[in-house]
Structures are given as structure tokens and as C-alpha cells.
Structure 1
Amino acid sequence: MEHQRQITVFQAIAILVSTIIGVGVLPLPLFAVRAADSGAPLVTLIGVLIAFIGLALITMLGMRFPNQSIIQYSEEIIGKWFAWIGSAFIVAFFALLTALAAREFGEVVVTSVLTRTPVEVTVIVMLLLAAISTRNDITTFAYIHYFYTPLLLVPGLLIVALSLKNAEVINLQPIWGNETGGILMGAITITALFQGSFIVTAVIPAMRRPEKAMKASVWGMVIAGGLYVTIVAATVSVFGAEEIKFLLWPTLELAKATSLPANVLERLDAAFLAVWVTAVFTTLLSSYFLTIHLASRLFRLRDHRIFSFFILPVVFIVAMFPQNIIHMYEIIQNVGRIGLVITIAYPGMLLLIAILRRKRGDRVGRKQMD
């Protein structure tokens, strides 16, 4: 175990940030505006706070059992058979999330860039890239995220900052929106975009200092959540809530409407799409890696690599199930909301039972620290 504890706090933060920032960044403002019109930034902030509660629960569990994954310590908490059922649902859910993210990527690419390319080609290429990359160990996985995180954050923040020259503050008023009835459901939809943060269950057992996992979780959520809130606020302030309702991917339209000073680049959508493809890759890498990592633990295998290509056909078939873009987003929103039971309620139940039964795993023992 000692040789596997290579991940630092900064790498853990990078993994969380680059996992959360992914394919959902394009329709994000649309989801928020549908819920509360001009109150979209508030809805997004509430969604971020709910997501952080879920991440905090998972992190506290991981810190109680620093040498085990959720597959292992759930068996100690609620028994082998109940834990097996819960773990199987987790594996299936993240395989489904991987498939839907890959399909969403494919739809964006064939609609915006490669209009003559079949969606099946773009989906299988991205899934193959993720499958090949997941054959590395957790340390290499962390290095990949650590390398790409600045390439995601800097351009994203730059586009938001440059777009503010076209902003109208009146578009953000009232800050709670015109209809408050949809705020909670909208916030839950936004929360579902953060479910990739479940990757922390695989990261904590590999951290050099797992007792600092909460610090990594807080900073990861602050950075990724802060970027999401600013993107929504910038998009609403530039276009207005009513116009956004007619845009399929408002964030992409924001990049199109933004230019560099002195018109060095009149439109930033091409650069933004390049960054977005990277974000999709890191998100898919995490969800795919989490799926095969947890599956290997579930079936008591020593190596996760056996699953890297084994589940690829299944994920691809599921990705091709949605009939069109509208159907795809309906499935994504429904699956995301239902999935909160798996990513927030289930870990919360495990943590409560672990506290009541006074269950706690071995610390990063003295012999490991000596």
C-alpha cells in the first residue's frame, strides 16, 4: 500500500476540478435559466452547495477508512450482500454516466464542427481514448489530470472575463428570478453535473496524506463550482434569460460572441471547443476509470485493466440509445437526478451507520509512516 500512496493534495484538487468541469458546461446556463430565469446564478450556487454536501459526506467516509475504497468499507458497515447491491448500482451508474457524456460529446462535435461525420465515429474515438488511458495506474491517472487542469481553467476564466465587456447587469435582476417554484429542481439538476466528484473515493486510498482529503475536496469544489457560477452569470448578463432559452449550448454562444482585444481573434469558439474537448476527455477518463476501478474491487480482482476494453462495447451501445439531442438531454437530466440517491444519499447513509456502529478503518498506520 505504501508504494501506491503517491497522490498529493494539489493533485487531488486537480483531479476533482478537471473531472467536474466537463461536457455539462455547454448546456449549464440553459438548465439554470429554465429553472429561475434571471436567478440562474443563484440556482447554480445552490446546486454547488448541495454538491459540496455530497462530496463532504464521501470525503468523511474516505477519511474514516483511508486504506479502503467504498466497495470495501461498505461491506464492513452494512454487510457483504447489501453492500454488493449498492456497489453494483454505483458501477452501473458511472458506466451509464460515461456513455451519456460520450454521446453528448459526439452530438456537439457533429453539430458544430464535423457535420458530415457520423456521431458513432466521434463517440467510439473518445471512448477508445479513455479506455486506453485508464490502463495506467492511479499515479499516472493523477499526473494526466494535473497536467490538463491549467489548460481548462485559464482559457475558461479568460473567456468569462472578456465576455463581461458585453454584459448588462439588468439581465441579472431580480437575482432570485421571476419564478421561484423551479429553483429546487433546477438546483438538483445542476448538482447532478458534479457527480464526477465521486472519483474521490478512488483517490483517498492513494493519497500520501489522506487526512488532508477534506482540504482537497473544499478547494476542488470552490474552484470548479466558482467557475460554473461565473460562466452562468456571464452568459445571463450577456444574452439575457429569455434569449438563452432558445440556445441549445449557451456557453458556446458566449465564446462566439467574445473576442480578444484589438480583434486578434474575433471569435473564441474554436479555441473554446479545443479546451472543451480536453475537459470532456478528463471527465470521461475519470468516470471510466472509476467504473473499472470499482468493478475490479467488486469482483476481487487485483488489476482493473481487464475491464478497460471489456466494458467498452456495453458503454458504446448505451451511448447510442438516445434517439436525438432532445431525447438525450431528457435522459441525462433524469439519470442525473436519480443518481443523487447513489452519490449523496447512499454515502450519507453509510456514514451515519458507520458513526452509530463506531466503525472505523485502520489509520495510515505507523508502519506505513515509519
Structure 2
Amino acid sequence: MQTTRQITVIQTAAILVSTIIGVGVLPLPLFAVRAADSGAPLVTLLGMLVGSIGLVLIAVLGMRFPNKSIIQYSEDIIGKWLAWIGSLFIIAFFAILTSLAAREFGEVVVTSVLKTTPVEVTVIVMLLLAALSTRNDITTFAYIHHFYFPALLGPGLLIVALSLKNADIINLQPIWGNAPQGMVGGIFTVAALFQGSFVLTMVIPAMRRPEKAMKASIWGMLIAGGLYVAIVVATVSVFGAEESKRLLWPTLELAKATSLPANVLERLDAAFLAVWVTAVFTTLFSSYFLTIHSMSKLFRLRDHRMFSLFLLPIVFVMAMLPVNILNMYEIIQVVGRIGLYITIVYPAVLLLIAFVRKKRGNSVGNLPMDQSG
């Protein structure tokens, strides 16, 4: 599908933030405290840095091949057949990621709000909303993310700021935790929550100035990662590490324990869930769009719309495979860690080979504007 270069640096950063901040924000403190107790904020920060490696690699590759996504320039770098294998792994991984995010959303909703509603209903509604939204072009995709960006960031920062009045700094000591030997696994688990930033590979060919992709990446990661670290700091400082381990969704409990000044709202969990639903939508929207966009590039199609509903039943069936919440989170952690090979190692190999073989795409000015997507 032909696209014009209309996406700005600010919109690109907004896409990254609203994609990264998603369903994983609820169990994030639980993953971190299980890994390092009071060292959870440090684990989250290091996980953000590991996640940043993949984003930087994608940004560098995108600036080197400004008119193509990873599906296309991987063929230039390593050849068609090897690239096909890598592309199939990317498509399969983000389809699985979409299904797991949808299932996690469904479990939270039926546990916290709609207790008599079957989980299948909530999952299919969210997937259908994402599938229909992906029938738009990449420019509309950017506008949707840009529109929801303030609604995601503002309430999250507000809840963190208000919750700190109940914080006890002693809960954050020692800063490296009581069991540092578990930190490495926790770092990779947290890093997996940043894998949505891979969407940048699809956005760069539609940017007005692809050479500024790194700037957008840094801002996007700083904002999203900063919010994640702040949420973990607030949760651990309010509840303590041991209490946080007993909570299935510590961030939701943090919102319940937080109130507006003068008791205008005694609990913020209802407002937080409304914002969280929006965050889940934008994350699902990105991963679903990336999946079908990659499929269209792999099969050399001009339009990705034909895959939007074709993929829906496949993703829904995968979402229903985990038998319960605990099994779902076990799968999420395993899939997330395996996905680091796809989102970090694979781009690193591509970039290394591109340097060695001196492969580089055409500059932006060498292609007509309507063919740069």
C-alpha cells in the first residue's frame, strides 16, 4: 500500500509510549519483586535498558534503510530464504503476543469488573476492536496513538504522585534487593514488556524525517520506561516487597489505595481501569497492525487490510489456550524471554552483517514520496 511520509518525531514517540504501556503494567511490580524483593526498581531500570538495546538496533537499521521495514531489508542483508525464516518468526511472535495480551485483558476484566461475563466475550470484543481499527493506513494509525497518548500518561503519573504520600522509603532498601541472584531472570522478564517498541520498524518508512528515528526512540523509551520505574517504586514503597508478592495485580491495588486530595475520589481503581483499557487497546492495536503489515510485506501485497479479519480467529484460538491465570503468566514469561532473540538478537545480527557487507538502502530523497512506505 502506498503511503506518504507524514508521521512526525512526536507522533513516533507517542506510538512507542502508547504501545509499550499496555496490559503488562498491572503485573509489572509482581514480576520485579519476585526477582529481587526491594531491588525491584533496579530490576525494572535494568530491564528498560535491555529493552532499549533492541529499540536502538531497530532505529539504526531503520535509518540505514529508511524506505523499508525489517521484513524487506532483511532480504537485502541475508538473502531471501533466510530472511523469510526470520520474518515468519517475527509474524508468529507478534501474533502470539497479541493473543496473550488479549487473554490477560479478558482475565482482568472478568475478575475485577464483569464477574459474570465469560472471558471469551471480553477477549473477542477487544480483538474485534483492534482488528477493525487496523484496516486504516499507517498515518491514521499514528493519529490514533497520538490522540490517546495524553490520556495514558497523565493519569498514570497522577496515581504514582498521589500514592507517594503513603510511601515508606525503608521498603526500598537495600536497593539491590535481598536476593540478587534472581535479578538476571527478572531483568529479561521486564525487558520483554518493552518488545512492543519493535513497531518502530513499521513506522520509520512513513516518517517525514527517518534520520530522527533515534531521537523519537530515546524519548519514547525514557517516557514509557520512566513511568514503569515510577510505578514499581511507588508500589514497593507503599506495600513493601513481601506484600507486593501476594498481590496478583499490584498496580491495581496501588490505585485502590490512592485517593484524590480532600477525598474527592476515595479510590482511583475505577478511573485507572478505564485508562488501562485504553492502554490495552493501543498495545493490541500496534501488535496486531505490525503482524498483518509484516504479512503484507512478506507476500509483496500492496494492502494489509485483507489480513485484518483473516487473522482474528487464529489469534482468538491462541488466546483461549492457557487454562487459567497462573498458566497464562507462566506462558507470558517464557514467550517474552524467547521473544528477546527476535527483538534484540536478530536485529543485532542483521546490523552486523549489513556493516560487514556494506549494505545500505536508498536515501529518502531518491524515491518518490508515494513509494516510500
TM class by shorter chain equals over 0.9
Partner of 2:79: 79
Partner of 2:345: 345
TM superposition shift of 1:87:
0.1
Counterpart check, 1:310 vs 2:296: no
Partner of 2:356: 356
Secondary structure, counterpart of 1:348 in structure 2: helix
Partner of 1:15: 15
Partner of 1:320: 320
Partner of 1:34: 34
Residues 268-298 of structure 1: CA distance to partner in whole angstroms, max 9, x if unpaired?
A: 0000000000000000000000000000001
Counterpart check, 1:224 vs 2:210: no
| Contact preservation (8 Å) 1:2, 1:368 | no
Give TM-score scaled by structure 1 length: 0.99
- The one-letter code of the counterpart of 1:54 is G
- The verdict on how the C-alpha distance between 1:37 and 1:197 changes in structure 2, with shifts beyond 3 A counting, is same
Secondary structure, counterpart of 2:6 in structure 1: coil
TM superposition shift of 1:310:
0.2
After superposition, residues 113-128 of structure 1 pair within 5 angstroms as 113-128=113-128
After superposition, residues 152-301 of structure 1 pair within 5 angstroms as 152-301=152-301
TM superposition shift of 1:368:
4.9
- The one-letter code of the counterpart of 1:348 is A
Counterpart check, 1:64 vs 2:64: yes
Secondary structure, counterpart of 1:302 in structure 2: coil
- The one-letter code of the counterpart of 1:226 is G
- The one-letter code of the counterpart of 1:121 is V
TM superposition shift of 1:4:
1.5
After superposition, residues 70-149 of structure 1 pair within 5 angstroms as 70-149=70-149
- The verdict on how the C-alpha distance between 1:158 and 1:88 changes in structure 2, with shifts beyond 3 A counting, is same
TM superposition shift of 1:84:
0.2
TM superposition shift of 1:130:
0.1
Counterpart check, 1:336 vs 2:336: yes
| Contact preservation (8 Å) 1:93, 1:339 | yes
Residues 36-70 of structure 1: CA distance to partner in whole angstroms, max 9, x if unpaired?
A: 00000000000000000110001100110000111
TM superposition shift of 1:2:
8.6
Cα distance in structure 2, aligned partners of 1:212 and 1:245: 41
Cα distance in structure 2, aligned partners of 1:72 and 1:65: 9
- The one-letter code of the counterpart of 1:218 is I
| Contact preservation (8 Å) 2:3, 2:138 | no
Secondary structure, counterpart of 2:180 in structure 1: coil
| Contact preservation (8 Å) 2:29, 2:232 | yes
TM superposition shift of 1:367:
6.2
Q: Which runs of 4+ in 1 moved over 2 A?
A: 366-369
Cα distance in structure 2, aligned partners of 1:184 and 1:239: 23
Secondary structure, counterpart of 1:365 in structure 2: helix
Secondary structure, counterpart of 1:53 in structure 2: helix
| Contact preservation (8 Å) 2:33, 2:39 | yes
TM superposition shift of 1:366:
4.9
| Contact preservation (8 Å) 1:134, 1:308 | yes
Secondary structure, counterpart of 1:176 in structure 2: coil
Partner of 1:52: 52
Cα distance in structure 2, aligned partners of 1:201 and 1:142: 14
Cα distance in structure 2, aligned partners of 1:141 and 1:223: 20
TM superposition shift of 1:184:
1.0
| Contact preservation (8 Å) 2:29, 2:40 | yes
